[in-house]
Chains A and B, each alone.
Chain A
Amino acid sequence: MSSPETTPRKQAAIIATSITKSFGEHLVLRGVDLEVAPGSIHALLGANGAGKTTLIKILTTLIKPTGGSASVAGYDVAAQAQRVRESISLTGQFSAVDGILTGQENLELIARLRHLSHPQQIARDLLERFSLADAAGRRTAQYSGGMARRLDIAMSLIGNPKVVFLDEPTTGLDPSARLEVWDAVTQLRERGTTVLLTTQYLDEAEKLADRISILHEGTIQAEGTLGELEHLLPPKKVEYVEKKPTLEDIFLALTEGKKSSK
């Protein structure tokens, strides 16, 4: 572990530099730059088809970028993919919960694949932590959407990965299930885990994230804290907004402005 090429080469937990990705002729990412500080929650905000999942797949070693480079937890996603995998976990856009297995068995499965000792105990603790203990022995096909999503996130936390990727963790959930997932994400912050989450919901980014990046037309249009992003609004616009501008106003201003300038 101490050889120079395996020691982390940079401080930030996630660094993406000029990432491009095309599927055939279709250029989805046109040069994405992103930096996420360790222990922070970063939201990647973008509309349907903006390329959020594509970027997540590149950072989690599922697909290769067409151009550019990226490192996660200090390891290069292309050259040190297996090292990256040791440091991360992914809760993808589509459920990775096995419906035939119980909640307990789903968690044990991941613990065994991570070669941890006491998989049963690990599973029990996580079920407790995510308020799923009562449903531990039930097949997850019978879980509600919110329960399944919480279990999905719990599965991602086994082995305490340094960096957790959550791709649209609350899409399709009802408001109360959304709150449950938000709680789970907030717990991660308390443990010092770095989180990159994608969302289409502006209020979600506002609520959860330390910093926000807006992905639109293949590049990051703006990046910063909510306060910093508010300053990006054209001053005239701010004058006429009675209440504090929401992220929605900023998002619309940025993406609309982009369209009309074309």
Chain B
Amino acid sequence: MKRFLSDTGVLFTRLMRHIVRSPDTIITTAAMPIAIMLLFVYVFGGATNTGSVPYVTYTLPGILLITVASGIAYTAMRLFEDMSGGIFERFQTMPISRTAFMWSHVLTSIVANVVSLILVIGLALVIGFRTGASAGRWLAVIGIMLLFTLALTWVAVVAGLAAKSVDGATAFSYPLIFLPFISSAFVPTATMPGPVRWFAQYQPVTSIVNTLRNLFLGTPVSGDIWTALGWCVAILVVFAIIARLLIHRRTA
């Protein structure tokens, strides 16, 4: 255990240097969701009736999910680069903790995404995002976002392990970035046509968005929160198992 912590720490420091030395990975991660947020707030927002709620507050949960979905593309890219050169193999032939390497990538992914999320929330506050959420509700928001980031990080790990090229390693994030658009994130699902509405109501993003929105607005959090947590845990478990199998296959 001591070995695991110290090896993970050393490898995590290495990856954090990558991020500090190419800050564009964080800026690019935050830039796209910020652009989408500005577009929706200043261009499309007027057309959507969100009552007394400022549109930026209404839409921020979806923007946060898009931030993570675009951030994990870099998680997959960093992992792919280590796997395709000789770096992973050198570490595996050393007497270090067997799991430290993977956890250093997971930890780095979480830290990088949290920094991007803080940037996005900061800008949202500047353009009018307001919440009366209590400390407890903020804790719930943070917990859900961390769980969501962890779950998508394992999706990225699978992509990084399975990919044959850098483009392949990052392409999986595009559909994920797109998912919030077919959810309750930007317009109420009730306005959508039949089959699309059905998909929008039952896909994971809607329950997460609804939960976050209710937490921000101070309105009662319905059963959505359990659906949201269930989705996150399910994605996490399934993709962590697939990642394990992929690693195992490499050493067969």
Contact = CB atoms under 8 A, between A and B. Distances in A.
A183 interface: no
A85 B94 contact: yes
Interface string B67-89: 00000000000000000111101
Nearest to B92: A62
B251 interface: yes
Interface string B6-22: 11001100100110011
Nearest to B3: A115
Contacts of B251: 62-64
Given A90-B93, A91-B86, A96-B89, 17 more contacts: A61-B92, A61-B93, A62-B89, A62-B92, A63-B250, A85-B94, A88-B93, A91-B90, A92-B86, A96-B87, A98-B14, A101-B14, A101-B17, A105-B17, A112-B10, A113-B10, A113-B11
B94 A114 contact: yes
Interface string B226-252: 000000000000000000000000111
Nearest to B88: A96
B247 to A, nearest CB: 12
Contacts of A40: none
Contact of A94 (B17, B18, B86): B86
A89 interface: yes
B14 A85 contact: no
Contact of A89 (B10, B14, B84, B93): B93
Given A86-B95, A101-B17, A113 B7 contact: yes
Contact of B87 (A61, A85, A98): A98
Contacts of A114: 94-95
Interface in A51-110: 57, 60-64, 82, 85-86, 88-96, 98, 100-101, 105, 109-110
Nearest to B21: A100
A85 B95 contact: yes
Contacts of A100: 17-18, 21-22
Interface size range on B against A: 20 to 34
B202 interface: no
Q: Give the interface size class of chain A.
A: 20 to 34
B130 to A, nearest CB: 40
A62 to B, nearest CB: 6
A64 B252 contact: yes
7 contacts: A62-B93, A90-B93, A91-B90, A100-B22, A101-B14, A113-B10, A155-B90
A111 B18 CA distance: 19
B10 A96 contact: no
Contacts of B18: 100
A60 B7 CA distance: 20
Contact of A113 (B17, B94, B250, B252): B94
B240 to A, nearest CB: 22
A93 B86 contact: yes
- Counting chain B CB atoms within 10 Å of each CB, the highest count among A60, A91, A100, A155 belongs to A100
A63 B89 contact: no
A90 B95 contact: no
B85 A96 contact: yes
A34 to B, nearest CB: 18
A65 to B, nearest CB: 11
A86 B252 CA distance: 21
B44 interface: no
Contacts of A64: 251-252
Contacts of A95: 85-86
B6 A115 contact: yes
Nearest to B100: A113
Which 9 residue pairs of A and B lie closest in terms of their CB atoms, listed nearest first?
A96-B86, A92-B86, A96-B90, A94-B86, A85-B95, A90-B93, A86-B95, A60-B93, A112-B10
Contacts of A115: 6
Contacts of B89: 57, 62, 90, 92, 94, 96
Contacts of B252: 63-64
Contacts of B6: 115
B91 A113 contact: yes
Contacts of B22: 100
